[in-house]
Amino acid sequence: MVRLSLWVSVSLIVVLFGWGAWQRRWISDDGLIVLRTVRNLLAGNGPVFNKGERVEANTSTVWTYLVYAGSWLAGPMRLEYVVLAFALVLSLAGVALLMLGTARLYAPSLQGRRAVLLPAGALVYIAIPPARDFATSGLESGLVLAWFGLLWWMLVCWSQALRARPGGRAFTAALAFVAGLSVLVRPELALIGGGVLIMMLIAARGWRRRALIVVAGGLLPVAYQIFRMGYYGLLVPGTAVAKDAAGDKWAQGVTYLVNFNRPYALWAPAILLVVLGLSLAATRSRPWWIRRRVSPSYGLVARIIQSPPAVVAFIVVSGLLQAAYWTRQGGDFMHGRVLLFPVLCLLAPVAVIPVVLPDGVRYSRQQGYLFAGAVSVLWLGVAGWSLWAANSSGLGDDATRVTDSGIVDERRFYSQATGHAHPLTAADYLDYPRMRAVLTTLNHTPAGALLLPSGNYDQWDVVPVILPVPSGTLPVPTPGSGPHTVFFTNLGMLGMNVGLDVRVLDQIGLANPLAAHTERLQHGRIGHDKNLFPDWVIADGPWVKWYPGVPGYLDQAWVAQAEAALQCPATASVLNSVRGPMGAHRFFSNLLHAYSFTKYRIDRVPRYELIHCGLDIPDVPENGRPPYTGLPATGP
């Protein structure tokens, strides 16, 4: 009965989650950012967003290379469909593993008893609309769910190994590997993965077992960290520098918490599940993992660490720490996204719950029926809330408006902006404002140009290229065409709708090394709180730097000052670390200077940056332009 009810519950949740996710299927602009890097990998340009500039524009390393491997195997299939399949399958696998892990947690105390396992925490999770939104978003959410489901199931197995059978070396190595993978799934998950490795090291017997844990858990993350430092010249992904992941915005974080809770009254299932969990813990029969004797060779500390209560406490505390981290960071601009994982951690111990049928052994049948009835009533409350939340209107009228909070329902926003209920491909995003116009403008500037967003959504402001194109400048023109750069926030839809020979830059620093190294704006929109002036982009390329080539709303003096500020030795070193030819010398130089490059910041106002670097402020004629020499404005 227990096993049958478990598989019925798992099947029901997987079907409901899959159906709900498919009804809300889409791929976000940020999900398309990953695919631009995959396109460069497939083209042989390396793991970069723009050819010739080593920037790690994706937070999840595993997700990037998983999609790359899948795309390589899928051949001609569209990248968007590959990522959609991966995201959905991993999301469903993750929720199934979560429930199986929790069922195993309860299994010892249910041996020989009549009981049914009902979905509880898993039901709550799939009822939250953002959980279904991000199951197919093209982001790494499905990977995170699958990774955590697997880690949870393996942790429960590991916690019961002392009382069941000794854990084999293969299982120990596998668990350590999965835990170590955390930092490559998402950097902040190292809090959980690192904690698991520490628990395993404390509980391990003998130095050989500890060495196995260290090697299995640390070899791949350490190897990739060395690669990251040498190749990208940073200690962390470029996205972490762009968003200043070490900064704090507590007030915005509290706003994000409230924004996530209010539409769904998440406090209601929280209370019900806490009462359910405490009731089950207080009234369970003496569990099998306590009755079985443990070898005296295991110390007291090891026995405490490698036990189900310790694992449950660790996961719950980890969820709270993840929630605290994201609150400190300020949350995100996507409604609910970054708090889904903390919620998942807190729900894991009650993903399924047992309803034990009275047997008259520990309690009288009357007491047993009363307890089973109370659990059933609480579960019905959870199920009722889930039905209501699953059909919630969410943020309502504010879902697609960027209000003072800066938070939007990303799926509904792009569905409305593109006119597609399910924007899945880059082609669907051509109906987003400015997207078709960018293709037209690129076709009309064969000699090359820098494109800046205009106030008119049907056109782009064009900064012409200096002819002949100076050697050693970015971007490198392809044979038969001039260099093109587009400066725009929405990197995903833009990067996937233009060729890899077009350099795509943003003002917030996800793919722009200059913007990434600016200071975070104190009151900027969360996730977009860096804003590089376009003057820097003009200065940093083979573009005309004087009127009338420079748009009238820009100051050519600022452009000249930005061009001079780029000569700051520290700034030049940072840029050369990602633009200079990659070789052994460059790799080791980046490795040695990765810490200083990661910490380096510039002032977004060119004049202030010149003062900061101790450089002279150039004189620029108020009217007119320097004589044309065929060389850059700063050339000899």
Task: Provide, rounded to the nearest whole percent, the portion of the chain with pLDDT above 70.
Answer: 90
pLDDT for the residue numbered 636: 32
* Mean pLDDT of all residues in 17-36: 96
3-state secondary structure 445-514: CCCCEEEEECCCCCCEEEEEECCCCCCCCCCCCCCCCCCEEEECCCHHHHHHHCCCCEEEECCCCCCCHH
The DSSP annotation for 278-302 comes to: HHHHHH----HHHHS---TTS-HHH
User: pLDDT confidence of 279, banded at 50, 70, 90?
Assistant: confident
- What average pLDDT score do residues 232-247 get? 89
Contact 201, 211 (CB under 8 A): no
Tokens of 574: 């940072």
C-alpha separations of 3 from 107, 118, 376, 408 in Å? 9, 11, 19, 42
**What single-letter amino acid sits at 619?**
D
Distance CA 117, CA 7 (A): 9
The DSSP code for 615 is P
pLDDT at 217 over 90: yes
End-to-end CA distance of the chain: 85
pLDDT at residue 247 tops 90 = no
Confidence of residue 277 (pLDDT cuts 50, 70, 90): confident
- pLDDT at res. 542: 93
The tens digit of pLDDT for each residue in 414-430 reads 999 999 999 999 999 99
3-state secondary structure of 378: helix
**Contact indicator for 460, 451 with CB cutoff of 8 Å:** yes
Q: The pTM is what?
A: 0.91
For residue 475, whether the previous peptide bond is cis, meaning omega lies within 30 degrees of 0, is yes
The yes-or-no verdict on residue 409 having pLDDT over 90 is yes
pLDDT of residue 311: 95
Tokens 């791949």: give the residue.
Answer: 220
DSSP 544: -
Picking from 45-54, 175-184, 393-402, 583-592, which range would have the lowest pLDDT averaged per residue?
393-402
**Residue-level pLDDT at 161:** 81
Q: Is the dihedral of CA 353, 356, 361, 362 positive or negative?
A: positive
- Using the predicted structure, report yes or no on whether residue 472 has a pLDDT greater than 70: no
Tokens (6 digits) for 440: 């037209």
pLDDT band at residue 130, thresholds of 50, 70 and 90?
A: very high
183, HSE (Cβ side, Cα atoms, 13 Å): 22
Strands 460-464 and 449-453: antiparallel
Confidence of residue 398 (pLDDT cuts 50, 70, 90): confident
Q: Find residue 462's DSSP bridge partners.
A: 451
Task: Look at residue 605 and tell me whether its pLDDT is greater than 50.
Answer: yes
pLDDT for 370? 74
**pLDDT tens per residue, range 353-387:** 998 877 655 555 666 667 778 888 899 999 999 99
Angle at 163 between CA 157 and CA 164, to 5 degrees: 60
| Residue-level pLDDT at 115 | 83
**Between residues 63 and 2, the one the model is more confident about:** 63
Q: How confident is the model at residue 107 (pLDDT cuts 50, 70, 90)?
A: confident
Q: Is the pLDDT of residue 485 over 90?
A: yes
d(CA 369, CA 360) in angstroms, rounded, equals: 10
How big is the chain, counted in residues?
Answer: 636
- Binned at pLDDT 50, 70 and 90, residue 295 comes out as low
The domain limits of the chain are 1-288+295-398, 433-467+478-613
Between 287 and 161, the more confident residue is 161
Closest residue by Cα to residue 232 from 531, 525, 626, 591: 591
- Residue 404 is predicted with a pLDDT of 85
Q: What is the pLDDT of residue 273?
A: 93
Write phi, then psi, for 168 (nearest 5 degrees). -70, 165
More confident residue, 635 or 575: 575
Which tokens go with 134?
């991000």
The C-alpha atoms of residue 348 and residue 192 are separated, in whole angstroms, by: 14
For residues 132 and 135, give the distance between their C-alpha atoms in angstroms, rounded to a whole number. Answer: 5
How is the chain split among helix, strand and coil, in percent rounded to 5? 60, 5, 35
Q: Which token pair is 633?
A: 């404005």
Average pLDDT for the chain: 89
- Tell me: pLDDT of 145 over 70: yes
- 239: helix, strand or coil: helix
At 100, which helix (H) or strand (E)?
Answer: helix 79-110
Measure the CA–CA gap between 115 and 102, rounded to whole angstroms: 15
Task: Evaluate the omega torsion of the peptide bond into residue 47 and state whether it is cis, within 30 degrees of 0.
Answer: no
Confidence tier at 601 by pLDDT (50, 70, 90): very high
The mean per-residue pLDDT over the stretch 196-223 comes to 94
The 10s digit of each residue's pLDDT in 185-205 is: 999 999 999 999 999 999 988
pLDDT computed for residue 292 by the predictor: 47
The pLDDT value recorded for residue 290 is: 44
Task: Give the per-residue pLDDT at 467.
Answer: 78
**pLDDT > 60? residue 294:** no
pLDDT at 630: 47
- Pairing relationship of beta strands 352-356 and 449-453 according to DSSP bridges: unpaired
In one-letter notation, the amino acid at residue 396 is: G
Q: If pLDDT is split at 50, 70 and 90, which confidence band does 289 have?
A: very low
DSSP summary character for residue 303:
H
CB atoms within 10 A of CB 46: 13
- pLDDT tens digits along 301-329: 878 888 999 999 999 999 999 999 999 99
- Name the more confident of 216 and 403: 216
For residue 203, give both structure tokens. 């509980």
The gap from C-alpha 52 to its chain's centroid, in whole angstroms, comes to 25
Is the pLDDT at 626 greater than 60, yes or no?
A: no
Residue-level pLDDT at 397:
81
Report, in angstroms and rounded to the nearest whole number, the Rg of the chain calculated over CA atoms.
Answer: 28
Torsion of CA 600, 601, 606, 609, to 10 degrees: -70
